[in-house]
Amino acid sequence: MEKAKSFSQMFGIHPIVAFSLFTIDWMLFGSELVTLGTDWVITAPIGIVLGIAAMFVQRYGFKDELGVAIGKGLLLGLLTAIPTALPSLAMIPFAAIGAVKLFSNKTIDISNSTTGKELPSVNSQ
């Protein structure tokens, strides 16, 4: 289980980051399609800003180390700045890996939060 967690930590992308970059990349692709790629002057700075935002979310939301978060942010910003929509499809498997990591860390609290007392357990036979 630890190997799966370390793999998902290294290669996973926070699902919110992947979904937002996927959506923004497809919106930018619509404008690139209309202007025949001449709006790269606009999409390149947007890719840089989104890469920086992805770096912060990876660092503080996904608990990546600083170097890993910077690398993922640079890669995601570069993929967003490429003037086609195909690179955004590459984010989907990495978002799935990240979702596995996020959901594997969830614990279920069965205590009663209003009184602080633990709920009685039910013995199943």
What tokens appear for 35 in the block? 């202007």
Of 1-15, 27-41, 90-104, least confident by mean pLDDT is: 1-15
Res 31: pLDDT: 77
CA 16: distance to chain centroid? 5
pLDDT tens digits for range 34-51: 887 777 888 888 889 999
Residues 71, 73, 84, 93: is their CA dihedral positive or negative? positive
What tokens appear for 69 in the block? 């978060």
Q: In the chain, what are the domain boundaries?
A: 2-104
pTM of the model: 0.69
Neighbours of 44 (CB within 10 A): 15
pLDDT mean across residues, the chain: 78
Mean pLDDT to the nearest integer, 49-74: 91
